[in-house]
Structure 1
Amino acid sequence: MTHTSLKAVRAALAAALVLLACAAPARADSWRPARDSGLMLTVGHGEAQSAAVGGTMLWCDPPRGHHRRAADACAELEAADGRIADIPAKDVICPMVHAPVTAHAHGTWRGRAVEYTETFSNTCMLTARTGSVFALNAP
């Protein structure tokens, strides 16, 4: 039978507590999303911003929220420094169907206010011009 001294048990417990303290997160609220890069995104049918119903919140740093392509959208926004109008247009062929959609974004990017509204002739043109940012219904 092995006997362990009380001093050895206390030392082991102290060491375990130190290890646990080091492994714990630095801030108790670190699970909360960073509020400096979040956009509320809506797409509505028609040429009026008020035609949009609902919306999707996109948080970046790290990408999260209910946006289905959050990682792609955040990467495109990062490359354009949060300026949706500066996202490079994709070289695609879109049908010449007039079915206007209005995209709207408001929120902040790196602490800077973002307000964007633009009407496109159809959803293909919207996607070609804004990439994944407004791909709210995409799988």
Structure 2
Amino acid sequence: MTHSITKAATRWLRRGLPVTAALLIAAAVPAQAARTSPRQADRGDWLYVTVTHGDTRSGGDTRGTLLLCDPPHGHSHAAQACAELRSARGDIRGIPRKDVFCSMIYAPVTVQARGEWQGRAVDYTETFANACEMNARTGNVFTLDG
């Protein structure tokens, strides 16, 4: 089992994920996936998502989590986020904008999602004027609170 986790972590590190994300993903691979071929174990849809409040140049406050979608878990709103991603075919920009009114207060939020969806690499980064705008544009994908 240790060998399969090491191989999985190495594979995800090569894709540019932070060490902690790669190890979380490797640990989340079900035991039965370790007995299947590497191709079968990689078919799950997953994203490591981060949200940084404040100015990213000065560090800001960053939180992140692993969103797994086969089955949905690892994220406080996993079922909703996975459903939104499925309807948008894994393209965060394709999630329909919610019809909400957001204040014009500037409190920047930068989001990042890296991972894999239906065999395609996902690398998404965007800065929004505030958290309301972020939620309106990205649905539950970056909603990390409980």
TM-score, scaled relative to structure 1: 0.71
Q: CA deviation at 1:110?
A: 1.1
The structure 2 residue matched to 1:55, chosen from 58, 64, 70, is 64
Structure 2 residues not aligned, in runs of 5+: 1-30, 36-40
CA contact (8 A) 2:51 2:142 kept: yes
Aligned to 2:114: 106
Q: Larger C-alpha radius of gyration, 1 or 2?
A: 1
Structure 1 residues not aligned, in runs of 5+: 1-27
Question: Which 4+ stretches in 1 moved above 3 angstroms?
Answer: 49-52
* Structure 1 vs Structure 2 CA RMSD: 2.3
Higher mean displacement: 41-50 or 79-88 = 41-50
The structure 1 residue matched to 2:136, chosen from 124, 128, 131, is 128
CA contact (8 A) 2:114 2:122 kept: yes
Q: CA deviation at 1:45?
A: 1.4
Q: CA deviation at 1:51?
A: 3.7
Higher helix residue share: 2
Structure 1 residues 80 and 58 mapped into 2: Cα distance closer, same or farther (>3 Å)? same
Aligned length: 110
Q: CA deviation at 1:53?
A: 2.6
Structure 1 residues 53 and 78 mapped into 2: Cα distance closer, same or farther (>3 Å)? same
Q: CA deviation at 1:47?
A: 4.5
Q: What SS does the aligned partner of 2:105 have?
A: coil
Distance 1:94 1:54 in 2: 22
Distance 2:135 2:34 in 1: 32
Distance 1:83 1:47 in 2: 25
Deviation track 1:65-96 (CA, whole Å, cap 9, x = no partner) reads 1x110000000000000000110000000111
